[in-house]
Structure 1
Amino acid sequence: MKYGIVVFPGSNCDRDMQDALQHDMNKEVVMLWHKDKDLSMFSTDDCIVLPGGFSFGDYLRCGAIARFSPMMQSVIQFANQGGKVLGVCNGFQILCESGLLPGGLLGNASRKFVCKNVHIRTADGDPLQIPVAHGDGRYFASLDVLDELENGGQIVFRYCHQNGKMEELSNPNGALRSIAGIRNAEGNVFGMMPHPERATSPLLGNTDGLKVFKLLGLN
């Protein structure tokens, strides 16, 4: 699998993602400038990544301006053709703004920027320790959309205690139903607030991020 990483003005996790994919996962990576449009070097077996950061300074809603970058039109087309797309943190916000994922990300319930290790888990998996760093990570959607995500198995990660149990204190931002990551109905577009690329190296004392890529089928 080859990866393309879209770089927006204000991206600050693009090189973290590149390093994790290239050096820790031994993947081929192409850096993509947001003003370009060409994705012809990628097949639907490959993956386009929207990294974390503060695209366009988050001067409107987070990700709202980035959604209109020329490259995003190509990413939307790529996703609609079945290509894999991963959005992390700001990238998750952009996916929601672009309509590739439902719902949206609101300001943290604490009204504070949160930067720390948290634990997330799948419906039937062990808890993984993954860092978060965001001020607008509170996932929100209508009740109908939340039920649709639940019934379709589209909630891929939820915040949890280190023992795997769901509890309010383990939710770092107040996200509804402790949602940390979702996928689209087709299963090829993924968005998550935690940063798996910051947990892929023994030098960092944490390789749980590698398990995230594997669980999403992006390894």
Structure 2
Amino acid sequence: MRGWNHTGVKEFLLVGLTENPNVQIPLFLLFTLIYFITLLGNLGIIILIWLNAQLHTLMYFFLGNFSFCDICCSTVFAPKMLVNFLTKHKSSTFSGCVLQSFSFAVYVTTEGILLSMMAYDRYVAIANPLLYTVIMTQRVCIQMVLAPYLGGLINSLTHTIGLHKLDFCGPNIVDHYFCDVPPLLRLSCSDAHINEMLFLVFSGLIAMFTFIVIMVSYIRIIIAIQRIHAAEGRYKAFS
């Protein structure tokens, strides 16, 4: 960690999914279809929520933000990956590579934390329906939406600043189909031990937080549903 962005590497070469030229076009068509379906599905959700006044609730607001993050997350790497299927020189500039890793970390982290916020929201709505509007005030809702984006930004900035402090002076072949943090750390000429530890700690804490909140929320939801005596009410709550 000696300085700030002392690097002789001007671009990175991406290995991609395969180097077999016979499967490049089929993979291009397959992932183009997947990317198109991803965009169409998530945009459809966002537009539907925006146009339908009955869906202007916290649950669908969370869902709209999740769809937005899903679009951004896939757009970070999918277009570049599709172009690389059709070109022999699968390269990315140093700045472009770092920007891609930064953007991916922001949105993938935000998605994970958003899932936990959505699970907690459903727990409050089902377990405490009469107090839902009291607990989930406008201020709380805004905080619950902003927290995932803030968490994603902090997580991504930590790794990006760490990358900029490393030296990249030798190998520039990224064994991946986009510029992610772990494969970039493996190419550094500097001692990246601290960066790797930070990556593991942050990823582990975020994954553990998300998993615990989701599991606890849905276990509490199941318990609350089992306490409902009416079969119709139990079915409605479960659905």
Q: Which has the higher helix share?
A: 2
Q: TM-score normalised to the size of structure 1?
A: 0.27
Higher strand share goes to which structure?
1
| TM-score (norm: length of structure 2) | 0.25
* Structure whose CA Rg is larger: 2
- Identify which of structures 1 and 2 has the higher relative contact order when contacts are C-alpha pairs closer than 8 Å and 6+ apart: 2
